[in-house]
């Protein structure tokens, strides 16, 4: 029985889909004007794990993760680069896909771009205007009248009277209330614009997700996810827009993953302490990064450091050592088996990937003790449920950045040289070769079957 911590209710609740055996899930995706960073990686990997587990649990899942391809930052960056907005966004969408693919993130069922849903956004704005929840200000913008929506604040727990202009709230003299937010921005010279009943302009950020989610999943759907930073004001505003326009409940379960932190500070571009996925992958295998993310519960803070990634690598290596030393047999998961049942119980407890990974280590220890191919096969199968342990062990152990400029051919040649030196009892040369490989980050494992190598 799956339980989800519902941010709306501030408690774990038993998951009951709107339609039996079907799940409709929407996750806020990236604004594509720069490379994805580790915060984006966490959102992608966490909800990929959620998507995989829902499917493994027998649900027919429709997963939507949007792309914001029109935004102030996008317009500014395209202008700085001397390129069109589409050239900029197409390029960074391709980079995003490269990063997601490397991290083992499955493509969502739908990946809508905001610019493809402008008519639907206008339709919602018209509905809000007809209900007295939206108005056109003197400057031409169309704003949402926050105080006219009785439920505002129910997701974030914020009271309207406690909210002050200036903190996460844009001060604008054209607004009827400083808490009001923009639905439609009037056109400025040189900016992209669409025709509308309120004059040429472009959508505000918040309205995009209301339009894309309701168009692809319906006005009322099961799960909405995203980073904790989006809970207020973005998701709060989505609720106000969607429920205000459609006069029905918007989402049943809200999920928010925790922040990525660096030295106990939230990772952010403004602090200059953010790391792109590409930068991290220059030094760490992508599966190590995925493992690092999943080893923490999705709602907890994730503390980034090289030391934590090094520790994640050692831990993941140990699971692959089991698969290398106890060759796995191909097995179908028997969910009644003790380890499989504990693995499922962990993920059914609010997608506790930390607890599920702990079961993988228990299983690896038992597989090593019994030298059981069935148990190592189950280890591989359970890992695959959350996108881990899917490679051949030696391919994983030899993957990663090539240290010391040595490619595989050079490493194999040095191993042959060492073997010949040992055969000739030239142990000084054999030791020198081993030290040379060690300095290049290559570890040799000698066994009666021969010598294998891996990257440290």
- Which pLDDT tens digit goes with each residue over 323-374? 999 999 999 999 999 999 999 999 999 999 999 999 999 999 999 999 999 9
* pLDDT at residue 271 greater than cutoff 90: no
- Please give the structure tokens belonging to residue 312: 């994640």
∠ CA 277-278-281, nearest 5°, is 85
104 backbone φψ class: left, alpha, beta (φ>0; ψ -120 to 50): left
Smallest CA-to-CA distance from 168 within 156, 182, 179, 157 is with 179
The share of the chain scoring above pLDDT 90, in percent, equals 82
* pLDDT at residue 286 greater than cutoff 50: yes
pLDDT single digits (tens) 126-139: 999 999 999 999 99
Would the annotation count 247 as a binding residue?
Answer: no
Would the annotation count 16 as a binding residue?
Answer: no
CA distances from 422 to 290, 426, 432, 439 (A): 40, 6, 11, 20
Task: Give the DSSP letter of residue 454.
Answer: E
| pTM of full prediction above 0.95 | no
- Please give the structure tokens belonging to residue 313: 């690598």
pLDDT single digits (tens) 401-445: 655 567 888 888 989 999 889 889 998 998 998 998 888 888 888
Instruction: Band the pLDDT of 454: cuts 50, 70, 90.
Output: confident
Q: Which residues contact 379 (CB under 8 A, 6 or more apart)?
A: 319, 322, 323, 328, 360, 363, 364, 367, 389
Whether residue 335 contacts residue 385, with contact meaning beta carbons closer than 8 Å, is answered with no
């Amino acid at each position: 029985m799956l339980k989800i911590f519902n941010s709306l209710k501030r408690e774990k609740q038993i998951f009951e889909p709107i339609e039996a055996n079907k799940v409709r899930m929407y996750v806020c995706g990236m604004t594509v004007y720069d490379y994805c960073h580790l915060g984006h990686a966490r959102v992608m990997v966490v909800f990929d794990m959620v998507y995989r587990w829902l499917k493994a649990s027998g649900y027919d899942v429709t997963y939507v993760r949007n792309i914001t391809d029109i935004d102030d930052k996008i317009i500014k960056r395209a202008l700085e680069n001397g390129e069109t907005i589409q050239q900029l966004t197409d390029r960074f969408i391709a980079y995003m896909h490269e990063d997601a693919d490397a991290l083992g993130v499955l493509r969502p069922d739908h990946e809508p771009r905001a610019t493809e849903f402008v008519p639907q956004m206008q339709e919602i704005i018209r509905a809000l205007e007809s209900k007295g929840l939206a108005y056109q200000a003197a400057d031409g913008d169309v704003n949402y009248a926050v105080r006219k929506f009785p439920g505002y604040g129910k997701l974030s727990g914020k009271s309207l009277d406690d909210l002050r202009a200036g903190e996460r709230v844009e001060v604008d003299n054209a607004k009827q209330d400083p808490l009001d937010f923009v639905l439609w921005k009037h056109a400025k010279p040189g900016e992209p614009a669409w025709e509308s009943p309120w004059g040429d302009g472009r959508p505000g950020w918040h309205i995009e997700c209301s339009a894309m989610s309701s168009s692809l999943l319906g006005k009322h759907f099961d799960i909405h996810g995203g980073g904790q930073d989006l809970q207020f004001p973005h998701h709060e505003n989505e609720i106000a827009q969607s429920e205000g326009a459609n006069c029905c409940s918007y989402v049943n379960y809200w999920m928010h993953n925790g922040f990525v932190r660096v030295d106990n500070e939230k990772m952010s571009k403004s602090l200059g302490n953010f790391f792109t996925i590409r930068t991290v992958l220059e030094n760490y295998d992508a599966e190590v990064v995925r493992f690092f993310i999943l080893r923490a519960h999705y709602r907890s803070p994730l503390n980034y450091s090289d030391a934590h990634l090094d520790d994640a690598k050692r831990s993941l290596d140990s699971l692959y050592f089991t698969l290398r030393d106890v060759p796995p047999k191909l097995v179908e998961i028997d969910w009644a088996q003790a380890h499989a049942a504990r693995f499922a119980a962990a993920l059914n407890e609010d997608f506790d990937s930390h607890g599920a990974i702990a079961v993988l280590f228990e299983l690896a220890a038992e597989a090593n003790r019994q030298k059981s191919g069935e148990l190592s096969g189950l280890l591989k199968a359970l890992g695959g449920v959350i996108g881990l342990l899917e490679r051949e062990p030696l391919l994983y152990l030899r993957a990663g950045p090539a240290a010391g400029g040595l490619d595989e051919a050079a490493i194999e040649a040095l191993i042959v040289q060492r073997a010949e030196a040992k055969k000739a009892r030239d142990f000084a040369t054999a030791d020198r070769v081993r030290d040379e490989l060690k300095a290049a980050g290559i570890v040799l494992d000698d066994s009666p079957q021969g010598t294998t190598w891996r990257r440290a």
